Amino acid sequence: MEIQDNKKLPDADSDIKKSSEIMPDVINQYNKILERRKQRQDYPGNLFANLICILMFLCVFYNIFLVETQKYELNILKIQQEQSAIKEQAELDRVKLQAAQKNKESADLVIFNDDYISVRIDYYNKIK
């Protein structure tokens, strides 16, 4: 082997500088890999948190369902009450109309009785 004088041997310092520049990238990648492993290992914890979130969502949805069902039932009861109030009002109006008609008949009878009494008195006076 022949050693050539015009070629420079690589400096040891330059290799260290290059490796120190590369090292943070390698370390960052390694740290990312470790974080991913931790996340995978912590998967049951994430699963538990996810299950709790889903359970809370279902509870909220069930609560909303119950509230809306109660609103629907209350609206049905309100409509039924309005219908029964309308029927009762119609019955009350019918009773008032009957009472007014009986009062009119009574007034007509009183007027007829007054006219009849005057005719009867005149008739009895003529007979005497």
Give me the phi and psi of 67, to 5 degrees please.
-65, -45
pLDDT above 70 coverage of the chain, percent: 77
Mean pLDDT of the region 12-28: 61
d(CA 94, CA 110): 24
Would residue 128 count as lying in a domain?
Answer: no
Instruction: Please count the structural domains in the chain.
Output: 1
d(CA 128, CA 124): 6
Would residue 2 count as lying in a domain?
Answer: no
Would residue 22 count as lying in a domain?
Answer: no
What is the per-residue pLDDT for 116? 87
Would residue 58 count as lying in a domain?
Answer: yes
In 3D, which of 30, 54, 58 has the Cα closest to residue 46? 54
d(CA 92, CA 48): 65
- Report which of residues 27 and 71 the model is more confident about: 71
Would residue 108 count as lying in a domain?
Answer: no
pLDDT above 90 coverage of the chain, percent: 43
Would residue 67 count as lying in a domain?
Answer: yes
Of 5-14, 17-26, 37-46, 93-102, the range with the highest mean pLDDT is: 93-102
CA angle 46, 52, 56 (to 5 degrees): 145
Would residue 84 count as lying in a domain?
Answer: yes
- Which residue has tokens 């022949």? 2
pLDDT tens for each residue of 32-90? 888 887 777 666 667 788 889 999 999 999 999 999 999 999 999 999 999 999 999 99
Would residue 64 count as lying in a domain?
Answer: yes
- Category of 8 on φ-ψ map: left (φ > 0), alpha (ψ -120 to 50) or beta: beta
Domain span at residue 71 reads 42-98
Q: Is the pLDDT of residue 128 over 70?
A: yes
